[in-house]
Each structure stands twice: as C-alpha cells, then as structure tokens.
Amino acid sequence: MIIFPAIDIKDGKCVRLIKGEFDKITTYENSPINQAKIYFENGFNHIHVVDLDGALQGKSVNSNIIKEIVRDVSLKVQIGGGIRTIEDISFWLDAGVDKIVMGTAAIENINFLQIACEKFKNKIAVALDVKDGFVTLSGWKKKTNITAIELIKKIKNFGVSRIIYTDVNKDGTKKGPNLKDTIKLSNEVNIPLIVSGGVSSIEDIKKIKSLKLHNIEGVIVGKSIYDGDIKIKELSELI
C-alpha cells in the first residue's frame, strides 16, 4: 500500500484545512520544497500535492513552487488543484509529474474526463471529494447532487488510473478515516482507491491495510504529520 504524505499549498506556504473550510486554516513553518525534501530523506517515494489557490481560482497559482519540487526532489508527485484543460495536463506531465488529479473539470464535464483518460493513459486520477454523501467541487465550496457511487458508475470504464476518496467532513479533523464508505465504494468499482481524510495515527493506517480490500492502493496522510501526531520515521516503516 502506497503512503502519500500530503503537501497542500496556499499563498506559497504549507497549510492544512479542517473539513475543507478556508477560514479554519493552519499555516506551517516549513516551505513546500523543504517539506518534500524531508519526505524524500525519510524514504518516501510518493507525495500528494494540492494547489489550493488553484482549486479556488480554476487555474494553477503555485506552479513555480510545484515545478521546483518536481525538479529538485526525486519523488513521484501526484498533483491536483486548478487543472481544467488538456493543456494544463500536458504542462504538468511535461514537467515530470507522475499523476494528474482532476476534480471539478472532470465531474462537471464527464466527456472531458473520458477524452483525458484516453489521451493520457494511466495518468489521470479523479478526486472524489464527498460531503454528507454528495460530491463537492471548486475547492470543496460547491456541493452537487451527485452521490459518490453514481459518479463512480459513470466513469468506471474510462480508464481512470486511481480514485482519491476524501470524506470532507473527516479531512483535517484527525478523527479517523471513513472506513464504512470506503468499503462501500471499493465494492462498487475495480479502480484503485486512495483513502484520504481524517487519518490520525499509525493505527488508522494499519486498520486500512487490514481491510485487505482488493483495490485499496494507498492512503494520504496530512495534518497528523504536520502536528506531530504521526512521526515521519515511524510512518516510513510502513512503506
């Protein structure tokens, strides 16, 4: 199982939100590039990077910082936030990003997602950000009337490389991931799933591993690392 330490970037800094609310934001001392180097030095192979300004504005805002991470740190980077066009995807893949995470653009225009998956095989991931059972968009600000399972059924044959499932109500709370709905989603689709939101301890990660679901590919860990609840060295032992 892949462990993805998270780097969320806003105004050029590492931040974490609680339940996706931008008025509940914590800014951390380490720069995004230094944080990425710490992960690399501790043996991690992958990181999950989100341009939060990009998610809000619908275009890349912190691209220079993210390009620096990709260029200077030998990690497989999956990136989301503000990626809305074929040109955006090409830009990031040419820059050396491993996977492109699409949310708003993919869900508002399913045909665009299908075209992207066909053009960039095994490179497109979908961010499934769910609040109170429904998919959210635009930096979690816009709630749709689409359920997670409805969306998965629509896209299951597109060639999506992975789905990043985040329970927005859990994200940043450190109250444990939503395993009940993770299991439900896993039963609906063969696409690899990444669990995100609420991971609070090493025990949470072991619990996810113990589910032994055929398509759980990994877990994203964010706030618990930054706040020191999960020690990076201890986490790296699970890689």
Residue-wise pLDDT for 24-69, tens only, equals 899 998 999 999 999 999 999 999 999 999 988 988 899 999 999 9
**For residue 162, which phi and psi values (nearest 5 degrees)?**
-165, 160
Residue 215's Cα: distance from chain center in Å? Answer: 16
Greater confidence, 119 or 178?
119
Q: How far apart are the first and last CA of the chain?
A: 7
Mean per-residue pLDDT, 123-127: 96
Whether 171 is a known active-site residue: answer: no
- No. of H helices and E strands in the chain? 11, 12
Instruction: Tokens 């997670």: give the residue.
Output: 148
Q: Please tell me the class of the 2-236 domain.
A: alpha beta
Distance CA 169, CA 174 (A): 11
pLDDT in tens, 83-106: 999 999 999 999 999 999 998 888
| Average confidence score pLDDT of the chain | 92
Q: What is the pTM of this model?
A: 0.92
- Indicate which residue of 53, 129, 171, 204 is catalytic: 129
Helix, coil or strand: residue 67? helix
11 is catalytic: no
User: Do 35 and 14 form a contact (C-beta atoms < 8 A)?
Assistant: yes
- 7 sits in the region (left: phi over 0; alpha: psi -120 to 50; else beta) called beta
The answer to whether 116 and 86 have CB atoms below 8 angstroms apart is yes
